[in-house]
Structure 1
Amino acid sequence: KEKKKKVPKPSSKMATILSLNPLAIRRFSSNSQCYLHRTMRIGQAAIHFQKNYPVSFVGFLQFSKRRNFICAVSKDAEESFKKTVEVDRLIDTLREASDKELPQIVVENVLAFNESFWIRLAARADTCKSDDDKKDYEELALTVMNIVDRLVHKTNEKIEASTDVLKAILKPVIDEVEEISWPLRDPEAVSLMEKEINQREQEGQLDEGFLAEVNAQLRQATKDGDKPGLEAMLQKVLQLYASRVLSKRSYAKKGNEVLKAEQFLETIIKAPEEVWNKLLLDGMTLGKGDISPEELYAVIKKRMERTLIRTEGGSYQQRVLIEYLKGIESRAGEIVRVLQG
């Protein structure tokens, strides 16, 4: 009888590293901002996996429809092998990196530091023949975890700061029981919000972290469906932000010439969303004005192109600004359809 091969157990120090590893990553759907959260994991996961795998493979061979299961196992094994190769490539990159390069590599691959990574790193450390090599792996694991911990801490600080900024902006519309009454009781509340947004934007506090926080809160409010006031005010925050940022650049003058279509668009951009209908009726040729719908659509399209060039691709800022311009375009289209019967 063939002797069963003993699966090497991780060293006590590396098992401790696994049990202390706190990292798990939760990613929200719309793009792109990651929130890092801590969670505890059982350090013996690697041992459990290695013990059970040969048994499960033998079990598959005992089924009557053996061929199908063999194909399934083969496919799973192929996928598992590919993932292992990717993890090994990352581990080798980390080992070869200098102290200066290592933090950047960790940041760029932060989503890769999951349970499979740490199990593979422990397995490679356990197969080392020399104590020096094993020590290198243990030091690498601790260094990577320290970098990830700092990244988690820094991310949490940014989230907390962004939450505080949002609370300050929404303060004028929050009542005594910390709820947003809807419709708003104080007509000046939105003006106070706008003033706060302008001040915070000038101080550079309305960054990507802030926009990510507003979008996350808005998604949750929309999902809950029981806080129409909060949902409306979060949408208003994004509108006020877009109006502020887009108004900082003017394209209404070309030398001494005033471009009336550009000037008309900038008037709408600066105005509250509640008065867009009146402005469009008064400004377009279908109403009382001298700007044709085609001219308005053209300058909106041009402003979108400029915005795409001047903002980072896929950023929350780009998305918010483009959505604001699309909102103006959509409203103009509705007015045109109504006036044309």
Structure 2
Amino acid sequence: MASSFTLPRPTLSLYFPKYRKKSKMSHGIRKDWNLGFSRKERFEPLTSTASIELRRRRRTLICAVNQDAEKAFKKTVEVDRLIDMLREANPSELQKLVVENILAFNETFWIRLAARSDTCKSEDDKARFCFFLLQKDYEELATAVMSIVDRIVHKTHEKIDSATDVLKEILEPVVNEEEETPWPPKDPEALKTMEKKIFQMEQEGKLDEGFLAEVSAQLRQAKEDADKPGLEAMLQKVLQFYASTVLSKRSYAKKGNTLVFSLRNEVLKAEQFLETVIKAPEQEWNKLLIDGLTVGKGEISAEDFYAVIKKRIERTLIRTEGGSYQQRILTEYLKGIELRGEEVVQFLQGNTA
């Protein structure tokens, strides 16, 4: 059945300059400004206390103005440095610089670029000719930068559309045409179908960093809206299935086809137990932990369990790109297991005390 379920499309907000006609002013000063007093004012003499307070406020105001001016100056210096780098770059370097500084092309940048092209005006013919060449140089730079930025934005939108389509396909088994999607799904097989799709798409390489960024963005929006708990739960489940699938691809209780043995010639049971929890649905964690830990019915001590989780987090940090969505999602999943283990241990210890 076709679904009317839609996901909001994130937008990449970049500022493109709009050219406006200059307003006609006399020497840049508005003629309707009244710079004098329209009537006589009566002034009261200042007391010593009032004078001290006035001086204190004046110092505070001057300090605040100086700080604002310093920040504005530093920002202008940064923008000028970027403009100079862009002017001196060759075509291949220019594209790389634009990509690396894509978020810098805001309103402040374009205003400063326009101001730079307007700083060499002179009555001298030679100076005017130099200004014409410099202005032409800045105009060509602005055109080249805007062209590169436009291509980047277009490609970004294409990636967002692709990631959104993948996400909609994954969520298709658990959504329907109702305005409010129920959670958990009425059909118990829907979650299994969704998990199979995630496993298949991960094998096909479709669940890349762009997809994870899209899911994370949609999840943040759902939390902010606070009126779509079903959608929020679905997106969290997508990330859980993804983390479980990726982390389950590598076993640290085995090395190739040979089991790893400890000094007592025993299989590393703590590693195998962690992998069992990783593969299990989140709603089954409590039972697995109770049955597997020594504080419950099992053979794995809480200390050994926490130790293998810590090792797995360290390995994940080494094997994934620093600061990536993949790294954050996988480590948060492992920390979620650790937190659940601590809660179960506290509960069981409290009951036996």
TM-score, L = length of structure 2: 0.78
- 2:269 & 2:223 partners in 1: Cα distance? 38
Matches within 5 A, 1:285-296: 285-296=294-305
Q: Percent identity?
A: 68
Q: Segments of 4+ in structure 1 off by > 6 A?
A: 45-48
Q: Residue 165 of structure 1 corresponds to which residue in structure 2?
A: 166
One-letter amino acid of the counterpart of residue 328, structure 2: R
Q: Offset at 1:38?
A: 5.4
Q: Residue 243 of structure 2 corresponds to which residue in structure 1?
A: 242
Q: Residue 97 of structure 1 corresponds to which residue in structure 2?
A: 89
Q: Residue 21 of structure 1 corresponds to which residue in structure 2?
A: none
- 1:323 & 1:51 partners in 2: Cα distance? 57
Larger relative contact order (Cα-Cα within 8 Å, sequence gap ≥ 6): 2
Alignment check: 8 A CA contact 1:283 1:289 kept: yes
Asked if 1:302 corresponds to 2:311, the answer is yes
Q: 1:36 to 1:176 in 2, by over 3 A?
A: closer
Q: Residue 76 of structure 2 corresponds to which residue in structure 1?
A: 84
Q: Residue 46 of structure 2 corresponds to which residue in structure 1?
A: none
Q: Offset at 1:308?
A: 0.8
Q: Residue 323 of structure 1 corresponds to which residue in structure 2?
A: 332
- 1:277 & 1:249 partners in 2: Cα distance? 23
- 1:223 & 1:145 partners in 2: Cα distance? 33
One-letter amino acid of the counterpart of residue 106, structure 1: V
Question: Which secondary structure state, in structure 2, belongs to the residue aligned with residue 120 of structure 1?
Answer: helix
Matches within 5 A, 1:126-137: 126-128=118-120, 129=127, 130=130, 131-137=132-138
Alignment check: 8 A CA contact 2:14 2:103 kept: no
Q: Offset at 1:46?
A: 8.8
Alignment check: 8 A CA contact 1:35 1:155 kept: no
Question: Which secondary structure state, in structure 2, belongs to the residue aligned with residue 126 of structure 1?
Answer: coil
Q: Residue 16 of structure 1 corresponds to which residue in structure 2?
A: none
Alignment check: 8 A CA contact 1:159 1:209 kept: yes
- CA offsets, 1:51-107, max 9 Å, x none? 479x99x99xxxx98955555544433322222111111111001111111111111
When Rg is computed on C-alpha atoms for both structures, the one with the higher figure is 2
- 1:304 & 1:172 partners in 2: Cα distance? 32
Q: Residue 25 of structure 1 corresponds to which residue in structure 2?
A: none
Q: Offset at 1:147?
A: 0.6
One-letter amino acid of the counterpart of residue 13, structure 2: H
Q: Residue 43 of structure 1 corresponds to which residue in structure 2?
A: 19
Structure 2: unaligned runs, 5 residues or longer: 1-9, 37-53, 121-126, 262-266
Q: Residue 114 of structure 1 corresponds to which residue in structure 2?
A: 106
Deviation larger for 86-95 or 170-179: 170-179
Instruction: Calculate the aligned-residue CA RMSD, in Å.
Output: 2.8
Alignment check: 8 A CA contact 2:86 2:97 kept: yes
Deviation larger for 237-246 or 248-257: 248-257
Matches within 5 A, 1:56-75: 67-68=58-59, 71-75=63-67
Q: Residue 275 of structure 1 corresponds to which residue in structure 2?
A: 284
Structure 1: unaligned runs, 5 residues or longer: 1-33
- CA offsets, 1:301-333, max 9 Å, x none? 000001111111221111111111011111111
Q: Residue 116 of structure 2 corresponds to which residue in structure 1?
A: 124
Q: Offset at 1:37?
A: 2.7
Q: Offset at 1:210?
A: 1.1
Q: 1:282 to 1:299 in 2, by over 3 A?
A: same
Q: Residue 3 of structure 1 corresponds to which residue in structure 2?
A: none
Alignment check: 8 A CA contact 1:252 1:262 kept: yes
Question: Which secondary structure state, in structure 2, belongs to the residue aligned with residue 164 of structure 1?
Answer: helix
- 2:245 & 2:22 partners in 1: Cα distance? 53
Alignment check: 8 A CA contact 2:173 2:190 kept: yes
TM-score, L = length of structure 1: 0.81
- 1:39 & 1:108 partners in 2: Cα distance? 17
Alignment check: 8 A CA contact 2:14 2:105 kept: no
Question: Which secondary structure state, in structure 1, belongs to the residue aligned with residue 12 of structure 2?
Answer: strand
Alignment check: 8 A CA contact 2:102 2:149 kept: yes
